[in-house]
Every structure is written in C-alpha cells, then in structure tokens.
Structure 1
C-alpha cells in the first residue's frame, strides 16, 4: 500500500488540490524522523529544550518546506 496525501483548497495551482507535494513531504518527514527522533531523545536526557527542537524538526521544517516546494 502506498500512502497518498491530498491537500485541497490551496491556491498554488489551477486545480486547487495538491497530491505530489504532500506525499513527498510525508516521505521526507518519515525519513527525517527515523534519524532525528532517536538523536533528539538522546539529547533530551541532557538538554531538554535542544532535544525537543531536534525531535520537532521534521514537523516544523522538513515537511512544510518539501510540501511548499512542489506546487502540484
């Protein structure tokens, strides 16, 4: 099964729906999360704020940037 994400109501293209950007954003989010969440959990033991920032990076930076960069 291949996950497909759909975002409707956007003004980035004439169809007002995005499929490719959110789907690739999800794939990039999962890939970054696999690497960054264990590292963030380890850092969280010593520096709570820094660990939270590392674990939140896929959701706050990776997914939005990938989704916005592909308009379809």
Structure 2
C-alpha cells in the first residue's frame, strides 16, 4: 500500500520572487487536516444543539487555520 504525501502548489502569488508557493500551502493543508480531525466531530455534536456555533466550529479549519499557516510561510 503506497501512501502519497500531499503537495499543494499556489501559483500567481506575489509573496516571493518565484511567484509560486509550495511549502506554505502544503503545511497549511496538513494543519487543516489535523484541525479538521478534531473540530469536525466536535462541531457536529455542538450543531445538534446550537446550529450557528456548530457551523463556526466546523468552518474553523478552512477559514482560520489553513489561511494563517499558508500566509505565514512565504515559500
């Protein structure tokens, strides 16, 4: 069984001279996946009682974690 490492590439950015980012988006995706494993089940449980709070918890990895990690690494 072969497991591939996810590689994310973002081209067209102006944060570095090459105009492409590989490290930031890849680490951002891994951080997103780690946060989602924890936050999505918790958000689903909270959603049963408080709909908007549950939605915010489940959206946190995509709206906060991924952009913060991706933008903090310029390459």
Query: Structure 1 length as normaliser, TM-score?
Result: 0.99
CA distance in 1, matches of 2:13, 2:46: 37
CA distance in 1, matches of 2:5, 2:38: 21
Shift of 1:12: 0.3
Moved over 3 A (4+): none
2:53 is aligned with 1:45: no
Residue 63 of structure 2, aligned match among 37, 40, 60:
60
Shift of 1:65: 0.2
Aligned length: 72
Structure 2 unaligned regions, length at least 5: none
Structure 1 unaligned regions, length at least 5: none
Shift of 1:25: 0.3
Residues 31-66 of structure 1 show CA distances to partners (whole Å, capped at 9, x for unaligned) of 000000000000000000000000000000000000
Q: More helix by proportion, 1 or 2?
A: 1
Partner of 2:33: 30
